[in-house]
A and B are shown apart, each in its own frame.
Chain A
Amino acid sequence: MTDTDRGTQRDRHSAFSLFTQQSLPACKPVLTPEWVIMTFLFIGFIFIPVGLVTLRASHSVVEIVERYDIGCVPEPFRIDKVSYIQDDSIPKNCSLSFKVPKYMKAPIYIYYQLDNYYQNHRRYVKSRSDKQLLHGQNEHGISSCQPVEVNNDRPIIPCGLIAWSLFNDTFTFIRNRAELKVNRKNIAWKSDRGHKFGKNVYPFNFQNGTLIGGGKLNPTIPLSDQEDLIVWMRTSALPSFRKLYGRIEKDLDVDDVVVVHLMNNYNTYSFGGKKKLVLSTTSWLGGKNDFLGLAYVFIGSSSVTIAVVFTLLHLLSPRHYEDTSYLPWN
């Protein structure tokens, strides 16, 4: 006796009846060996090429990473780097040079990289006021900016720990004795510039406290044009991160020697952080990262391996009919 036999004749085929009788037309995928092998092979044959292409893109990127936080501390201060960085009387300028290993096509992106810097710490992330950044002083919602919200009873613009700890190392690049022009415009997201940072909001009462955190801001430039700040305020995901500093819009040739004059102002010494300067071209996939390509290749080749193992086992071991002998069709 089948279920449809017993159903009432008149409305058996109406959609509603199919629904209430739980017999809607359905697709019922079954894990047959053929499907399994096909699926694994399919994943393999898609993933391996994609991975190789990705790897190629990654390899086409030229990246130069120079750590400078230790090298820029003069020899006598290396024992106590913190007092060096905190002592304003010591000049912080420093220079480093490197050779371009491969031809680098413009635009070349300049990043500063900080390691072991917890921009994603809860206390840090929360300490900002989006309302203030957009609308300025007439807003009162700056309590979220604790502990850097007021100074001398007047609100700070921009308030909060993030702004207060603004990164303030600066870099100038010289090639063949001529300064390489660094374009520092358009390094922040357009939506940030247009909608998160006010055009009529100017820095006010900033870095006037007893303890100076990071960089200062030019009070005559509206926040929406303070791109370093905007980039900095977009907090990083992980404790090791890069942030865009600018672009060199000229190609660099192989063996070009680039000299960087930098102001080593930012204190990463007290918490054991690292500072690096990064110059990188990009491909259609972004910067240099072999991981994605390798992962693709790995997953793809694992799938193929599984497919092969499965096929071999499938062919070599007969089905265990005795296991299912109690089933009614046997």
Chain B
Amino acid sequence: MDPPSKRTRIERRMDRIIYVLFSALILVSFVGSLLFGIETKKDGGDYGRWYLRPDITTVFFDPRRPSVAAFLHFLTGLMLYGYLIPISLYVSIEICKVLQSIFINQDQAMYDEETKRSAHARTSNLNEELGQVCTILSDKTGTLTCNSMEFVKCSIAGTAYGRGMTEVEIALARKRGETLDEQRDIDTVESREPVKGFNFRDGRIMNRKWVNEPNRDYIEKFFRVLALCHTAVPEVLDPGKIFYEAESPDEAAFVIAAREVGFQFFKRNQTSIQLRELDRSSGEIVDRVYELLHVLEFSSARRRMSVIVRNPERQLLLLAKGADSVIFERLSEEGRMFEAETKEHIERYSEAGLRTLAVAYRELDDDEYKRWEQEYVKAKTSVSADRDDLLDEKADMIERDLILLGATAIEDKLQKGVPDCIDKLAQAGIHIWVLTGDKKGTAINIGYACSLLRHGMKEILVMLEKPGIEAIERDKEEFAKAYKIVEKQIDEGISQVTGESNTQFGLIIDGKSLIFALDKNLIIRFMELAMKCATVICCRSSPKQKAIVTRWVKSKTGRTTLAIGDGANDVGMIQEADIGVGITGVEGMQAAMSSDFSIAQFHFLERLLLVHGHWCYRRITMMICYFFYKNITFGFTLFWFEAYSSFSAQPAYNDWYMSSYNVLFTSLPVIALGVFEQDFSARHCLKYPSLYKEGIDNVLFRWIHILGWMFNGVLSSVIIFFLTTNSITGQAFRKDGQVADYSILGLTMYTCVVLAVNCQMALSINYFTWIQHLFIWGSITLWFKFLLVYGSIPPTLSTTAYKVFIEACAPSIRYWLTIILVVIATLLPLFSYRAFQTRFQPMVHDSIQTRRP
């Protein structure tokens, strides 16, 4: 798939601003050329400006063909007022964004000690979009959770073991308002070094205590199943330390659990598995060899796996583990002894957000096994196309009449800081969608654990209970019925949401309903509902739906969406979203490679958005507005001067002043603004997440805001031009009677422009480090230094700038008084506006700023 090219909303709006400015440029040039044409025409005949020699003129000033002169003047005007279109803006923005990305990459607070990875901005052109995220679409496994499985509980022979509380349980208890005694269940005796993948605490089982339990036979069988029924391979690195290479982290967790309880799997070859286990009669540790006969592998269709082994006592055993529904179907009559209790435990575990599997076994007699084996081997060696189906069928034949042993519960730990992070993001006004394959109950409970669903939040469910997806596809009637159900639920949701505007809502929708909800007739209503909910959880959704949902959310809300994921199945979603964030997790680098930003942990997203996003958004928007301001100020002083030189396109300033404006005297402060500006420190950005709402609502880059800055630019140019000309021209400009000529006026006006725009910058930013001071005051000093240097090179090169500053302006008090007057007068309008607005109609950042301790 070709990675899509992404541009930010800010940039797209900036393009439109450029069109506006371009129209302004054309308009200004047109007005200029029209008036120039009229003036030029008047020069014809006897009553013209003879000192311009209209009788022997060129085509540019020919009074006999004023329309041609006007047209050519129009082209000249386009070049003269070209300053209205800041070409250097694009360059400056690129520089700023690259530097911003470097800052993101360098941020130590987003450096993960464990994986030794820091955040990485893989593209530099989406920085400010990070400050405008309205919806986050997140994957669950590996993104919200660590994807490292821990064995925490089990139910054996109808008794529940395992006392540790899962994060979900803690969250649920908190939701119910129970006070928690966190230490309650943890036996101090058992506190020992944590084992990765194992978080099982129960005094009845651990440290060989299980031999005293009444149902010790079942416990022994249960853990033997866990130790034998798998495809893991042991790796002995140091003596006494065994690591397991397993297909999935779940499987590894089982083997580790068995090892920790005392059934250590340590060797495997083609035909046997060896366990080091306790001999209950002698109380010694012995090595037992189990002959491995067949492995009936796990598949997503079978949702179970089993092995057939012969134990040292020559008994033939089939050991199975699998999804509860599958295993319960295959129990024998006498094997259902603990079915009710186990079911109840499984129910409880899955409410606690755990992944459960049922464990069962069966003893085989030799004859039955032999008969089955023949058929099975035949099926295995067959080469027909339906070999896999055949094998499944054969496996199915032997995997029946099982005896239930119990169930396991594995916790997929939430990543560090996820609930806090989600809480902050929600406070920042960001909608969070989680797309998970989990069951409804698990999804809701995980939602509570991650703080996606919070206390006082109302749940809205959109669910399709019964008909399987196949039935819907086959049957038109069922389809219509299902559609009706979803429609009804959505409508009810909307009326509920609009009815109670003060409560927060969480929407839970399952994958099947989602298909209907994304139908073109329902999508608008569905998005209306979803956008009013702070959280949306899509449970039982398929990876394919992720990208589709992302596309719809993006196109229907029209706001910025961010997709975050860690696995290959998230790539579509990551590429589809406005911003794709990849987690460089255990599932490889595929998501990170296709992302725009990669981070090591989900909770870094908080800092990435609330701090860097907020800053970058503010920096870029302010920078663009300011850039327009400074160029309009400059460009329009040229235009006003034109009006006083009969629109002859004579620039008000020396050529070198003109070309240095964007390069020397105003560039560095803007870049400092774009790279370093902070309205709040990182700590405050995180403390006040509501600051982020300004980015979502795009308050700093509304048209009114942009046009306000442009208007301020025009106003500044008017103030600068008229105050300067009225203050210095006409009468004597100095004590020695000299008057201000073209070069002095140009220099004074230019000084005022440079000072005014730089001081305007100093007034607009909230953050002065030595860099800002250096750049802003340095630019102003540089202008005066430039005047000294440029003014002292021979007049054939410096022309109208020769010694003007040192000889004419600097000794004149009027020059300095004029500059001070003009600069203050130019700054006053915006300053007054800001002062009143901050006090009487504060924006979010204003009120936080003024009340910050």
Contact = CB atoms under 8 A, between A and B. Distances in A.
Interface in B89-113: 103, 106-109, 111
A161 interface: yes
A291 B726 CA distance: 7
B364 to A, nearest CB: 57
A42 B777 CA distance: 22
Contact of B682 (A22, A36, A289, A303): A22
A285 B802 CA distance: 23
Interface in B677-704: 678, 681-683, 686-690
A328 B737 contact: no
B49 interface: yes
Nearest to B732: A287
B87 interface: no
A299 B822 CA distance: 10
Given A47-B824, A237-B742, 16 more contacts: A25-B769, A31-B850, A32-B850, A47-B821, A120-B650, A121-B645, A146-B58, A165-B51, A189-B803, A191-B802, A235-B741, A235-B742, A282-B736, A284-B813, A285-B817, A317-B840
B53 interface: yes
Interface string A276-288: 0000101111111
A191 B615 CA distance: 51
Contact of B730 (A39, A289, A327): A289
Interface string A102-141: 0000010101000001111111110000110010000000
Interface stretch (A92-100, A216-224, A241-249, A250-258): A241-249
Contact of B688 (A33, A63, A214, A327): A327
Interface residues of A, number: 103
A11 B590 CA distance: 33
A236 interface: yes
B648 A123 contact: yes
A219 B689 CA distance: 81
Nearest to B690: A327
Interface residues of B: mostly helix, strand, loop or mixed?
Answer: helix
B737 A282 contact: yes
Contacts of A23: 681-682
A3 B683 contact: yes
Given A191-B802, A196-B802, A310 B53 contact: no
A120 B802 contact: no
Nearest to A242: B739
A24 B741 CA distance: 46
B727 A295 contact: yes
Interface string A66-109: 00000000000000001000000000000000000000000101
B648 A118 contact: yes
Interface string B39-69: 0000000111111110111101100000000
Contacts of A214: 51
B796 interface: yes
Given A118-B646, A122-B645, A189-B807, A280 B731 contact: yes
B824 A270 contact: no
Nearest to B105: A20
Nearest to B734: A286
A161 B47 CA distance: 18
B807 A120 contact: no
Please give me the 7 A-B residue pairs with the lowest Cβ-Cβ distance, nearest first: A287-B731, A287-B732, A237-B745, A109-B737, A165-B51, A122-B650, A122-B648
29 contacts: A1-B686, A3-B681, A6-B109, A21-B108, A26-B769, A31-B839, A31-B850, A36-B835, A109-B737, A118-B648, A121-B52, A121-B646, A121-B650, A125-B742, A147-B57, A148-B53, A189-B808, A191-B795, A195-B794, A234-B741, A238-B644, A241-B729, A280-B737, A287-B733, A287-B737, A288-B731, A289-B730, A292-B814, A328-B689
B547 interface: no
Contacts of A118: 49, 52, 645-646, 648
Given A30-B766, A292-B817, A328 B49 contact: no
Contacts of A107: 737
B839 A314 contact: yes
B354 interface: no
A215 interface: no
A222 B302 CA distance: 110
Interface of A: 1-3, 6-8, 17, 20-33, 36, 39-40, 43, 47, 50, 54, 61, 63, 82, 107, 109, 111, 117-125, 130-131, 134, 146-148, 161, 164-165, 189-191, 195-196, 211, 213-214, 234-244, 247, 267, 270-272, 280, 282-289, 291-292, 295-296, 299, 302-303, 306, 310, 313-314, 317, 323-324, 326-329
Interface stretch (B203-211, B257-265, B658-666, B841-849): B841-849
Contacts of A238: 644, 725, 729, 745
B735 A283 contact: yes
A44 B402 CA distance: 95
Contacts of A272: 47
Contacts of B545: none
Interface in B712-729: 723, 725-727, 729
Given A7-B108, A244-B738, A328-B688, A323 B847 contact: yes
Contact of A36 (B769, B794, B808, B839): B839
Given A21-B107, A239-B644, A289-B727, A31 B690 contact: no
Given A33-B839, A291-B727, A299-B828, A237 B744 contact: yes
B427 A328 contact: yes
Interface in B824-842: 824-825, 828, 831-832, 834-836, 838-840, 842
B821 A296 contact: yes
Contact of A195 (B729, B734, B795, B836): B795
Contacts of A125: 650, 742
B734 to A, nearest CB: 5
Given A7-B109, A242-B731, A244-B739, A120 B644 contact: yes
A173 to B, nearest CB: 16
Contacts of B103: 20, 22
A28 B766 contact: yes
Residue picked from B108, B681, B832, most chain A C-beta under 10 Å: B108
B770 interface: yes
Interface in B721-776: 723, 725-727, 729-746, 766-771
B812 interface: yes
B644 A50 contact: no
Contact of A161 (B52, B427, B729): B52
A191 B793 CA distance: 12
Contacts of A270: 46-50
B739 A111 contact: yes
A294 to B, nearest CB: 10
Given A29-B766, A119-B742, A327 B646 contact: no
A311 to B, nearest CB: 11
A36 B676 CA distance: 25
B807 A109 contact: no
Contacts of B48: 270-271
